[in-house]
A and B are shown apart, each in its own frame.
Chain A
Amino acid sequence: MFRNQYDTDVTTWSPAGRLFQVEYAMEAVKQGSAAIGLRSRTHVVLGCVNKANSELSSHQKKIFKVDDHIGVAIAGLTADGRVLSRYMRNECINYSFTYESPLPVGRLVVQLADKAQVCTQRSWKRPYGVGLLVAGLDESGAHLYYNCPSGNYFEYQAFAIGSRSQAAKTYLERRFENFTDSSRDDLVKDAITAIRETLQGETLKSSICTIAVVGVGEPFHVLDQGTVQQIIDTFEIAAEQEDPATEPDAATGQEAATEQGTAADQGGSTDEGAAPMDI
Chain B
Amino acid sequence: MKPIGKHSLLGASGEISDFQEILRYLDELILYDNMWDDGNSLGPKEVHNYLTRVMYNRRNKFNPLWNSLVLGGVKKGQKYLGTVSMIGVNFEDNHVATGFGNHLARPILRQEWHENLSFEDGVRLLEKCMRVLLYRDRSAVNKLQIAKITEVGVTISQPYSLKTYWEFSAFENPAQGA
Contacts and interface: CB of A to CB of B under 8 A. Distances in A.
A99 B42 contact: yes
Interface stretch (A103-111, A157-165, A204-212, A242-250): A103-111
A266 interface: no
B38 A101 contact: no
B76 A101 contact: no
A139 B36 contact: no
B3 interface: no
Nearest to B48: A100
Interface string B28-65: 00000000101110110110011001000000000000
Contacts of B53: 97-98
A140 interface: yes
B128 to A, nearest CB: 33
B43 A104 contact: no
Contacts of A140: 39-40
B50 A138 contact: no
Given A98-B53, A99-B50, A106 B43 contact: no
Interface string A100-129: 110010110010000000000000000000
Q: Give the interface size class of chain B.
A: 10 to 19
Interface in A59-112: 97-101, 104, 106-107, 110
Contacts of B43: 101
Interface string B142-170: 00000000000000000000000000000
A107 B42 CA distance: 12
Interface residues of A, number: 12
A101 B46 contact: yes
Q: A97, A99, A101, A138 — which one has the most chain B CB atoms within 10 A of its CB? A: A99
Contacts of B49: 98-101
B36 A99 contact: no
Nearest to A96: B49
A110 B46 contact: no
A139 to B, nearest CB: 7
Q: A97, A98, A138 — which one has the most chain B CB atoms within 10 A of its CB? A: A98
A100 B40 CA distance: 15
B46 A138 contact: no
B38 A106 contact: yes
A134 to B, nearest CB: 14
B36 A110 contact: yes
B38 A98 contact: no
B59 to A, nearest CB: 16
B39 A106 contact: yes
A139 B40 contact: yes
B50 A98 contact: yes
Contacts of A98: 49-50, 53
Contacts of A139: 39-40, 76
A12 to B, nearest CB: 32
Given A101-B45, A106-B36, 20 more contacts: A97-B53, A98-B49, A99-B46, A99-B49, A99-B50, A100-B45, A100-B49, A101-B43, A101-B46, A104-B38, A104-B40, A107-B36, A107-B38, A107-B40, A110-B36, A110-B38, A138-B40, A139-B40, A139-B76, A140-B40
